[in-house]
Amino acid sequence: MRADALRFAGIWSAELVSVIGSSLTGFVLSVWVYQESGSETQFALTMLCATLPGLLITPFSGVIVDRFDRKRVLVLSDCGAALSTAALLLVVQAQGLAVWHVYLATAVGAVCGTFHLTVYQAMTPLLVPERHLGRANGLMQATWGLQIAAPVAAGTLLEVVGVRGVLLLDLLSFAVATAVVLATRLPRAVTRPEGVAVAPSLGADLLFGLRHLRRGGLLPLVVVSAAFNLAFAVAGVLVRPLILSFAGPATLGVLVFAGGAGLFAGSLVMGAWGGPRRRIAGMSLFMGIGGIALAAHGLSPSVALIAVAAPAFLFVLPVVNGCVTTVLQTRTENEALGRVLATARTLGQCAMPVAYLSAAPAAEHLTGPWLMPGGVLTGSAGELIGTGPGRGTALIFLIDGLLLVVLAITTYARPRLRRLDHEAPEVPEASKVPEAPEAPDVPGASKVPEAPGAVRARTAPDPAP
């Protein structure tokens, strides 16, 4: 057990180092694009390049992670991202960096990062016993909090060492992360699970995860996760305009850092606690708390209010996502973890681009004019949250939070979802491996060992000899 804990610590530390380096580079490059072009649209395209390619490649990443050696996939994904960064560094050295170079490198990094995350999620339940799985997922999400804090460090680094220096630091982080992964001995059961049947076609393999989610009763949980991510994405794309409607850039930086601190604190608490024993009930409770905190953003143009509401909302994020991931991991056989988790992530995040493309226009062209002096809502919603610049955005926060509370109540009210808290996890019959026969009951004889490749979901593998 200690060996497995050390292996997970090695994998987690590699993830931490890699994410920090990539976050610094991503922020610095996006700032460079805005300074170079002066265009908010081109700045937004860097965000699109950082999300859309990864979302599109996620189902394929699950197939590859289940078919090939997971450790090699992890190393190759880091090497691919490092090569992209190295290419940017060469272009910077030649003083020929252009905006399209950043778009291309960001897209390549997003694809490599998708493989990176898929491998981690697939290997974690094979290194960590089920009773500690919630803690492990909480620690894995601690890296998200550091991504929020990255702009604080990146802004200073950009002034001190410039784009070239940040890219060099990113390359160093890739080297350290890859060295840690290579130095970590992983059992074959973790890197190449037995029992993977050959799919009749790539299409069938891509649909395997969806069939598993439907057959195992997990699809409604993924739908809930998608709705939660939609609410989160709406808040994520509008929170900076909301704050800037009544405060300056310096205050914005402080409040963004406070939100990141709440996210990091939630990850650490989840890592120490492991999450609620009844994960669906606990997830519903924390979603409700998050909905209240989200709605509170829109009640008043107050720095003090946002300083409390933003960390409170982001605190619940690791708990909710950790519960969803743990349920999926504990109800999926080892050899299918890549495909199932990748499919769940694709479905869970597919609504986020919709939020990115629709939330800002809705605030600018609909709710914004409605809550300006003389607007159609000044005598109703305006009496509650005020009128003027930014109040249309505040109304969307209020609606978004209330809808999240409704989602929490609906989730707990669904018996099909609540049963996931009580029913024993089941492995779909199509994926099970026949058990080995028992030895004859002869004195002194022992049982025949477990058949090679037998499914051992929800428990960590035996340590390597």
Q: Is residue 230 located within the same domain as residue 144? A: no
Q: Which structural domain, as residue segments, surrounds residue 57? A: 1-187
Residue 436, in any domain of the structure:
no
pLDDT surpasses 50 at 146: yes
pLDDT of residue 221: 96
398-446 pLDDT, tens digit each? 999 999 999 999 999 999 999 998 765 554 444 443 333 444 444 444 3
Q: Which two tokens stand for residue 410?
A: 């609906």
**Contact indicator for 449, 436 with CB cutoff of 8 Å:** yes
Residue 361, in any domain of the structure:
yes
CA distance 458 to 83: 36
Percentage of the chain exceeding pLDDT 90: 45
pLDDT of residue 446: 38
Question: Dihedral sign, CA of 187, 9, 144, 311?
Answer: positive
Residue 464, in any domain of the structure:
no
CA distance 75 to 68: 12
pLDDT of residue 152: 64
Residue 451, in any domain of the structure:
no
**What is the rounded average pLDDT of the residues 361-373?**
91
**What is the rounded average pLDDT of the residues 273-277?**
91
Pick 443 or 255 by higher pLDDT.
255
Burial code of 421-453, b = ≥16 C-beta within 10 A, e = fewer? eeeeeebeeebebeeeeeeeeeeeeeeeeeeee
Specify the DSSP class assigned to residue 440. Answer: P
353: helix, coil or strand?
helix
Looking at the 3D structure of the chain, how many domains does it have?
2
Could you tell me the CATH number of the domain that includes residue 153? Answer: 1.20.1250.20
pLDDT surpasses 90 at 285: yes
Q: Is residue 248 located within the same domain as residue 171? A: no
Q: Is residue 182 located within the same domain as residue 226? A: no
Q: Is residue 255 located within the same domain as residue 319? A: yes
